[in-house]
Structure 1
Amino acid sequence: MGALLSLLRGGGPTDEPPIDIPVDLAGAQPTAEEADIYHYIIQIMQPSSTYLDALREYPGCQEEIRKAIASPSKESEEAAWAALCPAVLQLREYYEFAQRLEEAFPRLVAFLCDGDVMRNLEVRQATAKQLGDILHFVSLFDELKMGNPNVQNDFSYYRRTASRMRMANPSQQNTVVPDELANRMSLFYAHANPMSKAMVDATLKLLKENPRISADSTTTLLSIICGVSYNAVVKERARDAMIPYCLRVLVVAIILYDHVDPEGAFGKNSKVNIRASVKVIQSHGGSGSNNLLNSLRYSTLHLNDEATPKSIKLMLAT
């Protein structure tokens, strides 16, 4: 185990390359011991691409809202409300999907962390790929949400309008989103990267509630996922279409690691080679590299710690 940890560490003076183990990121098939959780995750993730496509095309209600604010009237306010209701139902679907992921993700992490993490990743490659699929989805969702201010603006206006409607007519029931759910959705969308935050919270809850799963095994899992993603790109195992996938998985794995490990992902004892990770994002991320680096800058917890080497801070300086 000591040799493994020396390979995992990348922040120290030797700056070892990220660990490399043969995980098939393209065609891994589930073994018998993976079957139950594999099909469970398949079912959970089934609508993920549909949600991404819908969020990518999310038009927002900014024009109707602008008219209702600039020229308030019964007609303009009703038009804004009519536009908002289906939009808010769409945002509700995303939030409820995030809740389902919050239940599924810890089960997947526990399955891969229970026992020998290295062996698990070598023999449970189909579920390791599913972990990558979730991290990839999280990265894409957060980037799309951050790039479209209409998401949060629409929901904020919806809540203000719903509140005025209740004050004017206390007996009126809001049939779009119940108040308690709207409060939770508001907290979710208030975060710049809400899906990442949801996965962080789910992982920390797992560590608190499941004594079989330690922070050390979880950070080992995440650091190996970082190494697998890094090597798939650097050693040209990933075809062109898979390179962005690997880089997104790498970034979200680092974010999770940084929140799970008390010392974070950037210090000298980190199991993640941050320097190598940043360099591969810069060299292979193309037009998307800055968004990925921004995720590391603004969604991690320990980047600005005193213990973080100045060289790493400079690499991620804007």
Structure 2
Amino acid sequence: MAAKQFRALQDYLNHQVLGQKTFTKNLLIAVLADGHLLVEGPPGLAKTRAVNALAQGIEGNFHRVQFTPDLLPADLTGTDIYRPETGTFEFQQGPLFHNLILADEINRAPAKVQSALLEAMAERQITVGQKTYPLPELFMVLATQNPLEQEGTYPLPEAQLDRFLMHLSLGYPEAATEREILRLTRGESLSGSAKMPEPLTQQQLFQARRDVLEMYLDEAVEDYIVQLIIATREPSRYNQALASWIGYGASPRATIALERCARANAWLHERDYVTPDDVTAVFHNVLRHRIILSYQAEADGINIDHVLDTIVEHVPAP
């Protein structure tokens, strides 16, 4: 039942966000793998629309936060409000208590705000004063970065980057797709936007997550996942050029994320086992933000995707 509902949800997302099937698929992978997404792309590519549509397709609520340099941690977490009629303080929940959070232009907020978000992403809780409050069981952050403007931004620390399950890079749609977007928005202006016929309940989602974790994963595929990550730390074992391009490799958290995403990818393809193709299908998105390139790579004009291509090429698949 959950698989059927997820297919309906995927179809709904593809109808709402035209020309971004890879993006919508990775949204569902992140939901199934219980992780957070970092999306990089120019403005106007329907990132907000996609998360809003996802919230409509799942039994959950959605909140968008525009990150700015003057944002405070309390603007995310909430704060204690004094009630004079009772003489006590009452905690007022902030946006982080929603199920789906869009952190728009996350790198425009200062470090203290990013640290508050990091606690929420890492521990699924927030701390205000001396009290700690748990967040909803369904909790997902989709953060965006604009690659066109870097002035007045605060680069995300490595610890926070590592908390994102995947890093997606979006591009502009093709001309034919853009015509479809025109027709879709015109139709919505006239008759309203389409609604998901039957939203996925949170219990169905949690059951799907359990199904994903119970899928069969052969030891050979498991070893392949580990070797791909080891190749980022010991690249000289595979290729000397690769060794000169990588400054720092991926952490064990990357291994966990790669396995979870490969499982989710297999589940979305209606299989009950994971193949090496599932691993390579999500490899770039899982590792793109976890490897620090060397100065040599920058001097040679080597980007992260080329490095990841080289790793996949030199690590033998089972």
Instruction: Answer 1 or 2: which has greater helix percent.
Output: 1
TM bin, normalised by shorter chain, reads under 0.3
TM-score, structure 1 as length reference = 0.28
> RCO greater where, 1 or 2, for CA within 8 Å and sep 6 or more?
1
Instruction: Answer 1 or 2: which has greater strand percent.
Output: 2
TM-score, structure 2 as length reference = 0.28
